[in-house]
Amino acid sequence: MSEMAPARTYSQIVGSQFRKNKLAVISLHIIYILLFVFIFADFLANDKPIVMRYQGSTYFPVFREYGVKWFGLNWQDAFKSQQFKILEDKYEEGDWAIYPVIPYSSTEYNLQVKLQPPSRAHIFGTDELGRDVLSQMIHGARVSLLVGFVAVAIYVFIGVILGALAGFYGGLIDIIIQRMIEIMITFPRMFLIITIVAVMETQSIINIMIILGLTGWTGVARFTRGEFLKVKNEDYVVAAKALGYRDFRTIFRHVLPNTLTPVLVTATFGVAAAILIESGLSFLGFGAPPEQATWGSLLSSARDTLPTGWWLTTFPGLAIFITVTVYNLVGEGLRDALDPRLKQ
Amino acid sequence: MKKSFLIQFSILILLIIFANLGLRSLESYDDDELGNAGGIRIDLTGSETVFESSPKDMSPREGGTLVLAESAEPEHLNTYTSTSAAATRVLDYIYETLLDYDYETWRFDRPLLAESFTISEDGYTFTFKIRENVYWHDGQQLTADDVLFSIKAVLNPFVDCAPMRSSFSKVVSAHTNGQYEFVISSSETYFRNQEILGGFHIIPKHIWDPRGLLDRYSVEDLLNSTVTREEAAIKEFADAFNTHPQGRPVGEDAEPIIGSGPWVFDKWITGDYISYARNDNYWNDDPTYIEGYSEDGAYLDKVIVKVITDATARLTALKAGEIDFIPRMRAVQYFTQTNTPDFLEKFQKVSYVVPAYSYIGWNNDKPYFSDKRVRQAMTMLIDRDSYNKYVAYGLGIPTIGPFYIYGEQYNHNIERWPYDPIRAVELIEEAGWIDHDGDGIRDKDGVPFNFTFSVSAGSTSSKYMALMLKEDLRKVGIVVNIRQLEWSVYVENLRDRQFDVVSLLWIGGLESDPYQIWHSDNIGDRGSNYMGFRHAEADSLIETARFEMDKEKRNAMYFRLQEIFHEEQPYTFMFYQRDPGAYLKEFHGVKWIPIRPGYKLYSWWRNTSMAGESS
């Protein structure tokens, strides 16, 4: 590869190929935005101010919330009830607060404004308990993306290892792993997941991620196995064997890096599929616990209010649609960019 | 990627500045009064005992079909072994009882299959004189033998009807005197005896026991465990009874259920519908036959009970004209999705009270809720009025106790606990729940105030309740976990008392006996006192009141009992329910009554001539 254009590395070539696909580039930027929302959700939508001046001192309640959650800090006495909006009545001269763009948390309810259509106060409207839909969507994005990435990471890990073993060794190991794959794919995946979820004691997104991970690895395993079969008789593999490297080193240092790129492409599609399945499960009420806002559960709550509550279906539905689409487009772009036949 | 993030970050900062520049105070819209959303609100208080919601200016005519939608299908239609309300709603039209409610007074003393009845002076023995003109749907005559057989079937210990049998636990003997007299004796003068002994469905002996297996045994034999263990025929009968083809779902060829009522079983297509047709040979076809009987027999040719599990699909079917009547719809449908002039033109909306109340039950044996001050505080932390107004659309009627709100047992002198979070927090602190270790969560004796609210998976209203409570209690340093459970698991946990908090609906009667739920005898061993309510005075009141036949004295005891409930708050009593429904305006004679399910179809008739005018 490097003979053709010594100045360009492999990733540069792939990068320039990828950039030729406008749609994929736009999609990648949308993924960046989603990642941004994922990381800064608490600063985008929260009922706590980011910075506030209260009775002579300055506080950072959103940061404090992280401290309380993860580092065992406590709320200051004045903020024990965490109702910052009520504190406004006690403001003294010179007190102020800077709120996030959407000054509502995903669980904060206000019955008086329930089922409001989009307005200036609630850009995407409110649900049946008067919770802000946009805030729920922002926090729901966290669940969706987290489920997508973690589930795929789990199944890529399992799939790659099993596929590598099957492809590299062949024989009995290959037969066993192949039969395992066949048994797994005979179950319709959604039904298998629903069955497992139904038996679970507690509802949590961690369970969903693990279940999705444990049921999704077959495709990756087959893919890796195929790639291994292709590569395992290459000269460098034979050389590695001749040098007396242990199988572990041969598999993971020499063969795997050369087979991984197509797997990563399928993983991108996998993220989209996992997001869709999570939404489906939440829609059916099997997914995240009720207090956890997710796109799927928002859609589900909208079912009862249709046709009046159109904003409850439209916005989360669009969010799911856009997310799944951009992951697929990026996956396609990546696939094309990595395809050596298209390279000029 | 770095650049992209930087740009996004600056956009975020700009947005924050922009959003805060025009920082608004929370806009609260004036809640427009929902009112009755074009429907009729029926309360049946005071002297009003039956309400007719359709025009009364026309005389009824026979004919026509009514299609109504139910949300659940019964698992089978064996009247004794079934526990489903959906089955009862069908079977009440096919089978009859010895006595029934009087439609004027709502006392359970109107003779139906019995022509008359007498109670012995000591109150132990009931003698029913059976009518001589009653025939089963297959033409055979109904006699006292059928009545005796029915009670034998219930008392047979191998028949799967334990919940029903427990009401008959005080029966000591029963026999017939000739063909038309039935005598039954109880060992106690329980105030609900008349309702129980006269209120069970009579089933035909020749259908259910064609071989006469139970003929050889008396009621005393069936109550004697030595006899029932030794005699194989008793078990054999029960096995045949439990699996009898009568009322089993078998599609088109279902064996017709033979009863004596004004409707004849027609078909049961599993997963689709159950239908019943008018009994043209009904024994009681003379409307003036019994005094005080306000019904005129049945008019409709046929009633089809369609099973549509999804609420949205039910409403769609109504609007599309596939069904004529939804007895129970969602509040949100009643108030926001059926307000178009078209709908109101075509359908009549009604909300009617049924003797069922919702509550939040605190497991009194858990450390969190063992102190009554905490339970009182919990009640005061729940903004019941807002919940009723916004989530239940005002359909609830606030209640302070378990007795029927419009009944004679209800104590109207008790003031509800107010919504008062400040007082509630004081009470919680008084009870010793203070944040000792400074982690933001209240604790006592090292136990953090962290409990689980169990929610049945299908119930949106209790899910909303749990979500609101979680958010509210978080602010006072109490952690609520919400757990959604499948209904069967939910009930199992309830019986095993494996829960902290539950939210449920209790379906009662016009007059009820608190023994089953509130007496400490019924804690554990799968008894119905699931909350573990123990109170010496309450126990003795409940015991004495059961056998007090003087209504005034008995109700005085129940009034005191409600004061105890109010003080102890074993439940947070929420609301008596109004069920919202809608029916096609073509139907007349639509009457609403205070007993379950809130309506009886006997008097309904269809004015088919209206169909042309309204379209």
pLDDT digits (tens, 9 = 90+) for A205-230: 888 899 999 998 999 999 999 989 98
What pLDDT is attached to residue B33? 52
d(CA B332, CA B353): 17
For residue A149, give every residue at least 6 positions away whose Cβ sits within 8 Å of its Cβ, in sequence order, or none: A271
Q: Which residue has the tokens 């009870």?
A: B431
Kindly report, residue by residue over A24-67, the tens digit of the pLDDT. 999 999 999 999 999 999 999 998 898 888 888 888 988 888 88
For chain A, the average pLDDT equals 87
| Residue of B377, B379, B398 whose CA lies nearest to B389 | B398
**pLDDT for B608 beyond 80:** no
Report the percentage of chain B scoring pLDDT > 90. 53
B114 in Cβ contact with B183 (< 8 Å): no
A73 at B interface, C-beta within 8 A:
no
Report the share of chain B in percent with pLDDT over 70. 92
In three-state secondary structure terms, B581 is strand
Lowest mean pLDDT among A50-64, A309-323, B35-49, B85-99: B35-49
d(CA B180, CA B282): 19
Model confidence band, residue B241 (pLDDT cutoffs 50, 70, 90): very high
Segment 51-70 of chain A within 8 Å of chain B by CB:
68
Closest by CA to B192, choosing from B262, B115, B108, is: B108
Specify whether the CB–CB gap between B396 and B390 falls below 8 A: no
Q: Does A167 touch chain B (CB under 8 A)?
A: no
Distance from the A173 Cα atom to the nearest Cα atom in chain B, whole angstroms: 41
CB contact residues (below 8 A), chain B span 467-506, against chain A: 467-468, 470-471, 474-477, 482-484, 486
Provide the pLDDT confidence category of residue B173 given band limits of 50, 70 and 90.
Answer: very high
User: Is the per-residue pLDDT at B293 higher than 70?
Assistant: no
> Do the beta carbons of residue B267 and residue B254 sit within 8 Å?
yes
pLDDT at B291 over 90: no
Looking at per-residue pLDDT, the higher value among B614 and B456 belongs to B456
What is the per-residue pLDDT across A109-121, written as a single tens digit (0 to 9) for each? 999 888 888 988 8
Q: How far apart are CA A323 and CA A271, in angstroms?
A: 10
Chosen for mutation from A109, A139, A208 (greatest number of chain B CBs closer than 10 Å) is A109
Asked if A81 is an interface residue toward chain B (Cβ–Cβ < 8 A), one would say yes
Alpha carbon distance B134, B102 (integer Å): 20
Residue A195 forms contact with B (CB below 8 Å): no
Q: CB neighbours of B33 closer than 8 A, spacing ≥ 6?
A: none
B534 vs B403: CA distance, rounded Å: 19
Query: What φ, ψ does residue B67 adopt, rounded to 5°?
Result: -110, 120
pLDDT tens digit sequence for B328-375: 998 888 988 888 899 999 999 999 998 899 999 999 999 999 999 999
A111 with B386: Cβ contact below 8 A: yes
In the three-class reduction of DSSP (H, G, I as helix; E, B as strand; rest coil), residue A321 is classed as: helix
Alpha-carbon distances of A94 from A87, A90, B18, B329, rounded to whole Å: 14, 12, 20, 53
Predicted pLDDT at B223? 92
Instruction: Please list, residue by residue across B288-323, b when 16 or more beta carbons sit within 10 angstroms of its beta carbon and e when fewer do.
Output: eebeebbbbbbbbebbbbbbbeebbebbebbbeeeb
Q: Please indicate whether residue A113 or residue A307 has the higher confidence score (pLDDT).
A: A113
pLDDT for residue A340? 66
Cβ atoms B113, B123 nearer than 8 A: no
- Nearest chain A Cα distance for residue B311, angstroms: 8
pTM attached to this predicted model: 0.84
For residue B614, what pLDDT is reported?
41
A82 pLDDT above the threshold of 90:
no
Which ranges constitute the DSSP H helices of chain A? Answer: 10-19, 22-44, 61-70, 84-87, 133-169, 171-186, 189-199, 205-215, 217-231, 235-242, 247-249, 256-284, 295-305, 310-338
pLDDT band at B31 (very low <50, low <70, confident <90, very high): very low
The alpha carbon of residue A249 is apart from the nearest alpha carbon of chain B, in Å, by 33
ipTM: 0.85
Tell which wins on pLDDT, A8 or B433.
B433
Give A203's contacts in chain B (Cβ within 8 Å). Answer: 483-484
- Check residues B5 and A259 and name the one with the higher pLDDT: A259
| pLDDT tens, residue by residue, B390-447 | 888 889 999 999 999 988 899 999 999 999 999 999 999 999 999 888 788 899 998 9
Section B85-114 average pLDDT: 88
Tell me what pLDDT residue B128 has. 96
Half-sphere exposure of B601 (CA within 13 A, CB side): 30
- Among candidates A74, A120, A304 on the partner chain, residue whose Cβ is nearest the Cβ of B460: A304
pLDDT score for B25: 45
The answer to whether the Cβ–Cβ distance between B440 and A128 falls below 8 Å is no
Q: Which of B391, B439, B460 has the CB atom closest to A111's CB atom?
A: B391
CB B247 within 8 A of CB B86: no
Rounded CA separation A154/B403 (Å): 55
Could you tell me which residues are beta bridge partners of residue B392?
none
All residues at 6 or more sequence positions from B449 whose CB lies less than 8 Å from its CB, including other chains: B368, B433, B441, B442, B443, B477, B478, B479
Choice among B18-22, B81-85, B356-360, B544-548 with the minimum mean pLDDT: B18-22
| Mean pLDDT of all residues in B2-25 | 69
pLDDT, mean of residues B491-511: 90
**What is the spatial distance between Cα B258 and Cα B203, in angstroms, rounded to a whole number?**
8
For the stretch A314-317, contacts whose Cβ atoms lie closer than 8 Å and that sit 24 or more positions apart, written own/partner, are A315/A124, A315/A125, A315/A133, A315/A134, A315/A137, A316/A133, A316/A137, A316/A140
Predicted pLDDT at A140: 93
pLDDT exceeds cutoff 80 at B233: yes
The 10s digit of each residue's pLDDT in A272-295 is: 999 999 888 888 878 888 888 899
Pick from A256-270, B215-229, B283-297: least confident: B283-297
Q: Which residue on chain A is closest to B460 by alpha carbon?
A: A301
